[in-house]
Amino acid sequence: MKIICNDKEFEISQGESIKEVLKDEIENEKMEIITCNFNNEIKSLDYKPNESGKVELLDFTNTEGKRVYVRGIMYIMAMAVEKLYPKSYLTINYQLDNSMFCTFENLEVTKEVLDNIKASMEEIVKENIPITKVKMTPEEAKRFYEKEQSIRGKLQINTETKEAISLYYCKDYYNYFYGVMPISTGYMKVFDLVQYKDGYLLRYPSKKDPNSLTEFKDNRKLSETLSRYEEIYRVLKLNTIYRLNKSVENDNGRETILLSEALHEKNISDIADQIAKNKKVKMILIAGPSSSGKTTFAKRLGIQLKLNGIEPKTLSVDNYFVEREQNPVDENRRI
């Protein structure tokens, strides 16, 4: 078999990994290579091709390379938490400006706790421990998790829709992660843990500057919106996909939808109240991607405004669109 990288051709035998064959190419790159693209699929550097193909080496400045880095640093963080606070329940919530917002359900986030986790993470990175991938059938994974007596004793994924489940091992630690992982812990050298609201931020570099952490820019409106919904669904115990799936399996799907609708309606009512209080407001602009619900939202907001004694007039951008055959054309019949 043959693989092509950097316009060079390399012989590769069955059972050889991309890292082994392209060792010199990887070492000669200006930045540290963390993953690769093989025949238009993101693969680990330990991937062993069974066919010829083209390889693109990816570092942190590539979007997919950064995703692998972030996945790796989250894995290391979870590994450190498991070692230090095995009975805690860690939740990685959402991304905020090159950071992941994390919370504990049963552990107070203090400076001491974060210092301990960070020190453990730095030790794991320094050891440069291999991260290996093990594939199991859904049945094998279920038996494996049931056998283990730890906080990760529940397999929080739907096994019925999966042909195989991949667990990533590092020493005696294992966890389920979706997507390609770095081949060792030594790649994730730049990170920090910072207290934020009721949790903390796992900080990592930007693609523009992979070797340092940029200043955190807090988007308060986005953060407050996400936090509001996180808190509601945490109270309802629906703050993870696993818990949502279990709710649907237990025939609570309709109740979940009704709760979500009620929450949305309450927020619209609050917005309408704020608008009514501000007598200077003459126009309300609603933006969002196609089919995101702008028109529906406008109608529901209009109803709430009417309850506040305001008679709104709605103008939809969709009104400016016409069918293709109705579009004006030039002298060459081009739109």
Select from 296, 292, 310, 297 the least CA-distant residue to 268.
Answer: 297
Question: How large a percentage of the chain has pLDDT more than 70?
Answer: 93
Q: What is the pLDDT of residue 323?
A: 75
pLDDT mean over 129-139: 87
Domains in the chain, CATH or no CATH each: 2-59 (3.10.20), 65-216 (3.30.980.10)
Model confidence over 168-177: pLDDT tens digits?
999 888 888 8
Select from 296, 329, 330 the least CA-distant residue to 314.
Answer: 296
- Contacts of residue 29, defined as CB under 8 A and 6 or more positions apart, other chains included, come to 57, 59
Q: How close are the terminal C-alpha atoms of the chain, in Å?
A: 50
Mean pLDDT over all residues of the chain?
Answer: 87
Tokens standing for 150?
Answer: 């730890």
Confidence of residue 153 (pLDDT cuts 50, 70, 90): very low
Model confidence over 275-290: pLDDT tens digits?
999 988 999 999 888 8
pLDDT at 96 exceeding the cut of 50: yes
- Checking 261-266 for CB contacts under 8 A at 24+ apart, the result is 263/229, 263/232, 265/300
Tokens standing for 222?
Answer: 């986005």
Token look-up 């081009």 returns 334
Q: What is the pLDDT of residue 239?
A: 72
Tokens standing for 302?
Answer: 């209009």
pLDDT, greater one: 253 or 131:
131
Model confidence over 8-22: pLDDT tens digits?
999 999 999 999 999
pLDDT at 320 exceeding the cut of 70: no
Token look-up 């796992």 returns 202
- Determine the 3-state secondary structure of 86 from DSSP: coil
Q: What is the pLDDT of residue 140?
A: 77
Q: Per DSSP, what are the bridge partners of residue 170?
A: 173
pTM of the predicted model as reported, rounded to 2 decimal places: 0.76
Model confidence over 190-201: pLDDT tens digits?
999 999 988 999
Question: How large a percentage of the chain has pLDDT more than 90?
Answer: 53
